[in-house]
Amino acid sequence: MYEIIEGFIEAIRLIVTLDPDVMAIAVRSIIISLTATIIASLIALPLGAAINFGKFRGRRSIINLIQTLYSLPTVIVGLLIFLLISRAGPLGFLRLLFTPTAMIIAQTVLIIPIMTGLTISALSGVDPVIRDTLTSLGATRFQFLINIMKEARFAILAAVAVGFGRAISEVGAAILVGGNIAASSFKSSTRVLTTAISLETSMGNIPQSIALGIVLLTIALGVNLVISTLQQGRNP
């Protein structure tokens, strides 16, 4: 018990004094997950719009598949990306394994389904009368899409926030393709909050783990706050 309390006190000290190790890991985590979220948004938002407004066979099945992939285990994604980019894999020549780029790819793949699915829900949640109104006002196909997106903006931003939350909190893929490497340069290190907590805990370095855990929780809390604010904004 004493050990835990001591751990907490030490953790607070590490955070308050802006311990360089802890801060580097936190900043790296945010950069990697934010990059993954941005790339995933660029794919998931148009994809979600295309599926929502598209008229094609198997549309319903695609939506079902996407929803199934919400709960895709992160280690499975990690394993798939690992197989693709490991030296013997088809993309092995790119030498991406154990780089931050590999982690970004894995997190992007991981969150595309949930962001696509939530984008579809966001867009299909727009009142049909609003859609008809846009059409009747003489919108071109592009103007129509932009304005529907605007109308669903709060729900879409919430989808993006959910994606970021899932990316920053996952550990399985990050450890498999990142390798939790603390290299000399900030850029080539792959140690992020989740993988570092996992390692420090196994090494008995409890204060460090707790400090990193508090930082991760704070980020998760912040993301949640953003989501709930956005969801309230949906219905003024």
Partner 1 sequence: MIELDGVSKEFDGKRVLDGVSARVERGEIFAIIGPSGAGKSTLLRLIGLLDNPTAGTIRINGIDIHASKEQSLMIRRMIGMVFQKPAVFNTTVAENIAIGLRFRGVERATVIKKVREALDVVGLAGYEERLARTLSGGEMQRVALARAMVIEPEILLMDEPTANLDPVSVEKIEELVIRINRELGTTILFSTHDMYQGQRLAHRIAVLMNGRFAQVGTPREVFTLPATRDLARFVGIENILEGVVVRRDDGGAVSIDVGGTQVRARSSFGTGERVALCIRPEDMRIAPVERKVANPDGNTLQGTVISIVPRGPFSSVTVDCGFMLSSLLSWKRADDLDLQEGSHVVVSFAPESIHVIRINET
Binding site for partner 1 (CB under 8 A): 127, 129-130, 132-140, 143, 147, 150-151, 234-236
Question: What are the backbone angles phi and psi of residue 140, rounded to the nearest 5°?
Answer: -75, 170
- The nearest distance, CB 129 to partner 1, in angstroms, is 4
Q: Produce one character per residue of 160-180: b if its CB has 16 or more CB atoms within 10 Å, e if not.
A: bbbbbbbbbbbbbbbbbbbbb
3: exposed, middle or buried (Cβ count in 10 Å: 0-12, 13-18, 19+): exposed
Alpha helices in 74-205 (DSSP H): 74-85, 100-124, 128-136, 141-151, 153-169, 172-173, 193-202
For residues 8 and 144, which CB has a smaller minimum distance to partner 1 in the complex? 144
Residue 37: how many other CB atoms lie within 10 Å: 25
- The nearest distance, CB 147 to partner 1, in angstroms, is 7
For residues 88 and 129, which CB has a smaller minimum distance to partner 1 in the complex? 129
Whole-angstrom distance, CA of residue 221 vs CA of residue 73:
22
- The nearest distance, CB 235 to partner 1, in angstroms, is 8
The upper half-sphere exposure of residue 73, i.e. CA atoms within 13 Å in the direction of its Cβ, equals: 6
- The nearest distance, CB 114 to partner 1, in angstroms, is 24
Are residues 229 and 149 in contact, defined by beta-carbon separation less than 8 angstroms? Answer: no
For residues 123 and 173, which CB has a smaller minimum distance to partner 1 in the complex? 123
- The nearest distance, CB 122 to partner 1, in angstroms, is 13
Alpha helices in 125-179 (DSSP H): 128-136, 141-151, 153-169, 172-173
- The nearest distance, CB 185 to partner 1, in angstroms, is 46
The upper half-sphere exposure of residue 176, i.e. CA atoms within 13 Å in the direction of its Cβ, equals: 21
- The nearest distance, CB 224 to partner 1, in angstroms, is 23
